[in-house]
Amino acid sequence: GLHADRYQLGQRIFRIERSLAEVGGHLRVGHPKTAAARLDVTLPRWLPVVIDQHPAAYSPGTDGLLFTARRGEPIRRNAFRLRILLPVADTLDAPWEDPDVNAVRTRCNR
């Protein structure tokens, strides 16, 4: 997840340094599996504006995450996909049929 202390306002690039995995129903923070997974992601021009406005409306979660579930905990991947990614993809008339987080990351990083 994107942490408040690792994000610089107005920047269009952030580095993926950690991963979040669900193991046995518990969320675990760790390092990406491969060096290739530690990559710089360039954000679309409009996205930093949205990210910069977010902390004014919502406090960071208990672990410093900028975007969290209702009680401040990390957003689980499936919940993110169902509640956020699919509705946004429908609104944007996304060119892929069944988007998931990896497909979006791959397409946005081209």
- Contact (CB, 8 A) for 14 and 7: yes
Alpha helices in the chain (DSSP H): 47-57, 77-80, 86-92, 101-108
Name the CA radius of gyration of the chain, rounded.
14
Beta strands in the chain (DSSP E): 13-15, 19-23, 26-30, 40-42
Full-model pTM? 0.60
DSSP assigned state of 35: G
Query: Would you write out the chain's pLDDT as a tens digit for each of its 110 residues?
Result: 677 767 776 777 777 788 888 888 888 888 888 888 887 778 778 778 888 888 788 888 877 888 888 888 888 888 888 887 777 777 766 666 666 666 665 665 55
